[in-house]
Chain A
């Protein structure tokens, strides 16, 4: 593994992110927290994009993670981030293990639209069963505790930022390991030639199923963190626009690598912060135009710029994770 010898770029980026709260105003910390949260869900979508598959429904797992937090607070009266994060990941992965039984059989537009369909079923359910879910009002989420410890009021935001950052580090490590594993390689090969994967003795359905479970877990974890970061859960967490956003960010950053989605998420949250300030009514159109530009002129996403700067030798050594 030539690529494992040097420090992977995202680890360096995460290290940079460590010092940010010391230097910048609070709102930037908040935006960064959101970006790191989304990053995990975007990675989940990017795992499939590498194999040429689009999911317009990963908001399903995102919402499951988020509502997991909501119900834990509502029924158990517990808001412990350290306990709920793994719980959300397991919930997401568990539901993915069920849904994935069906999804692993589909490719192309069917995969995209079936995912969309399933997530919209959850969305409809969240709206209709308002006596449980709070309907459009959603559920309020209070500040998290960490294994029973509540940080002092003024440190709440920074504490949660570091907690998210720590989890993001773990996620990056896990995904890197998966991408370097046979399942990771076969997932990438899926977009090129499915039949040859089977010739090599691997079951395509197994590869897709395992990837689906992992991606469900990642998106579930992202949902838990988003619920705490935003402090409010609404059915829109499961809406198609949320899934579309994940896909968009993956495309923006470049989905072949782990750092691409990170770059995409950071860029996206800042674009959104400014776009909602200066042209709130044209937000979707802005996204659409950026997407068109990337599809036509920059198929590798923002990551292309970094890869170009970093030079050819470096590109070869990291080639294992790039698309």
Chain B
């Protein structure tokens, strides 16, 4: 029973983290039809910038609560700079080129950003644990959890709700849906598709960077976090259905719970389990649980 509680709580926390990671990826894929491998780098960059700023503000002796503002600011800054730059300078060159080329382009960006981060922030891990412990803890059974984990869950639910509202409930969302459904007709009826791509990519990048910033206090930010994130978040959105917001939520819950189960029962198999689930889901339903099967091109 105690194990079950631990699995459920840990699973929800993992799921929240995974959802933060993958929602930007699925959004970008949905609109641009490009799997952005550099997504993990943007996440890592957000985490680095946030930790860096938070450490600075904690260093000068200001109220530690300022570190939360700094975390958020770090993520937002990275997202707002990297997003438009990457879309305008690079992705724009490969729209309409073969999928393989688009993947390779984002892979190249990933390699560059990975080294850039090492050059800027060094190879030493950045650890900002203060915001993590600041909010105190609560206990559930015999296990104690920091309130920050609850904050993560709340943040991911809020972000998901916000995005769903934007897509379903606003004029901008309707335009996006139109571009997703048929790019050429959207152009014909006067939608600025280029601008839609720019905005969507920037929002996706913002999600990644802010996600990184929020998760940064719970981990040690080290070089190499980017890869795991790409693979994990791909697994999440592949399970849920690429390009679907609800799918990302379902995928995150499944992967999060599986990971929690694996860590409790067979810790050796943690990573293997996630890939295994991905392979199994894709074998049974290639478009993912929430995805629509793509019509074959003639």
- Enumerate chain A interface residues (CB-CB to B < 8 A): 49, 52-54, 56, 102, 105-106, 108-110, 112-114, 116-118, 120-121, 124-125, 128, 191, 193-195, 240, 244, 247, 251, 281-285, 287-289, 291-292, 295-296, 299
Contacts and interface: CB of A to CB of B under 8 A. Distances in A.
Given A114-B279, A118-B279, A120-B231, A108 B99 contact: yes
A106 B286 contact: yes
Q: Is the interface of A mostly helix, strand, loop or mixed?
A: helix
Interface in B230-278: 231, 234-235, 238, 242, 268, 271-272, 275-276, 278
B98 A288 contact: no
B115 A283 contact: yes
B93 interface: yes
Contacts of B296: 194-195
A49 B98 CA distance: 11
A85 to B, nearest CB: 30
Contacts of A287: 108, 111
B272 A125 contact: yes
A120 B279 contact: no
A270 B67 CA distance: 47
Contacts of A251: 104
Interface residues of B, number: 42
A112 B90 CA distance: 21
Contacts of A118: 275, 279
Contacts of B195: none
B234 A113 contact: yes
Interface of B: 29, 35, 90, 93-94, 98-101, 103-105, 107-112, 114-116, 118-119, 227, 231, 234-235, 238, 242, 268, 271-272, 275-276, 278-279, 282-283, 286, 296-298
A247 B37 CA distance: 14
B103 A112 contact: yes
State the majority secondary structure of interface residues on B.
helix
Contacts of B298: 193, 195
B115 A285 contact: yes
20 contacts: A49-B100, A53-B100, A110-B286, A114-B279, A117-B275, A118-B279, A120-B231, A121-B272, A125-B272, A247-B107, A281-B115, A285-B115, A287-B108, A288-B111, A288-B112, A291-B105, A291-B107, A292-B112, A295-B94, A299-B101
Contacts of B276: 121
Given A113-B35, A195-B297, A291 B268 contact: no
A288 B94 CA distance: 16
A104 to B, nearest CB: 12
A289 B112 contact: yes
B110 A288 contact: yes
A107 B213 CA distance: 34
Given A117-B278, A244-B107, A288-B108, A109 B227 contact: no
B116 A285 contact: yes
Nearest to A196: B298
B112 A284 contact: yes
B56 to A, nearest CB: 24
A291 B101 CA distance: 10
Contacts of A52: 98-100
Given A52-B99, A117-B275, A121-B272, 14 more contacts: A52-B98, A54-B103, A109-B242, A112-B103, A113-B234, A114-B279, A116-B234, A117-B278, A193-B297, A281-B118, A284-B115, A288-B110, A291-B105, A292-B112
A124 B271 contact: yes
A124 B297 contact: no
3 smallest CB-CB distances across A and B, nearest first, come from A288-B111, A285-B115, A288-B112
A292 B105 contact: yes
B119 to A, nearest CB: 7
A252 to B, nearest CB: 11
A69 B103 CA distance: 33
Contact of B119 (A49, A114, A195, A281): A281
A121 B275 contact: yes
A292 B115 CA distance: 15
Contacts of A283: 115
Contacts of A295: 93-94, 101, 104-105, 108
Nearest to B103: A54
Contacts of A285: 111-112, 114-116
A191 B99 CA distance: 10
A108 B103 CA distance: 9
A102 B282 CA distance: 9
A96 B275 CA distance: 18
Nearest to A239: B227
A303 B104 CA distance: 18
B234 A121 contact: no
A116 B234 CA distance: 11
B111 A291 contact: yes
B296 to A, nearest CB: 6
Given A52-B100, A288-B109, A296 B93 contact: yes
A282 B242 contact: no
